[in-house]
Amino acid sequence: MKFFDQVYAFVREIALGKVTTYGKIAKALGTKDARKVGWALHANSDPKTPCHRVVDRTGRVAPNFARLQRFERSDCGQAFDGWEEQKRRLETEGVTFIDDMHVDLKEHLWHRP
DNA sequence: CACCTGACAAATT
DNA sequence: TAATTTGCCAGGT
C-alpha cells in the first residue's frame, strides 16, 4: 500500500464534525514529510475522500485553496466548489470557526477511537 | 527519460 | 524571535 492510499484511508475515517491536520496524518503514517500528505490529497480524485476536513497546522484552510485557482472546482471531486463552500460544509457538519479562516482545532481535531 | 516542484511542519541556526 | 533547512514521494514537464 502506498502513502497515498494510507492518506486516503485515514482521511476517510474522520468523523463528521471533525478535522485533522497534515502533520497529524504524516505522523500517523510514520513519516515526517507532511508535504506528501498535501500532495496525496492534491492527487486524489476519489469522491469519497473528504478533503475539506484536512487543514494546516494552524487550522487555516481558506488561503491555501484560495490562492490556487485550480482547486476552486476541485481535483477533489465533490469536496470543493471553492473555499467558501468548504467553510460552509464544515460549519454544517458542526465545526466551529475561530475566525473567518481558522477552524477551532482545539475542539474539533480528530482523534481515533 | 531526467529534472523540477508541490494543499506542510518541526527542528535548527 | 525570525529565517533557514530537513523530511524525501509522486506526478508533471
pLDDT in tens, A24-65: 999 999 999 999 998 898 888 777 888 889 999 999 886 555
Length of chain A: 113
Number of C-beta neighbours around residue A5 at 10 A:
11
Q: Give the distance, in angstroms, between residue A47 CA and nucleotide B7 C1'.
A: 16
Burial A11-27 (b: 16+ CB within 10 A, else e): beebeebbbbbbebbbe
pLDDT of residue A106: 93
Whole-model pTM: value is 0.87
pLDDT of residue A89: 87
User: Grid coordinates in use for A100?
Assistant: 473567518
Protein-covered nucleotides of chain C (CB closer than 7 Å) are 7-12
CB A93 within 8 A of CB A17: yes
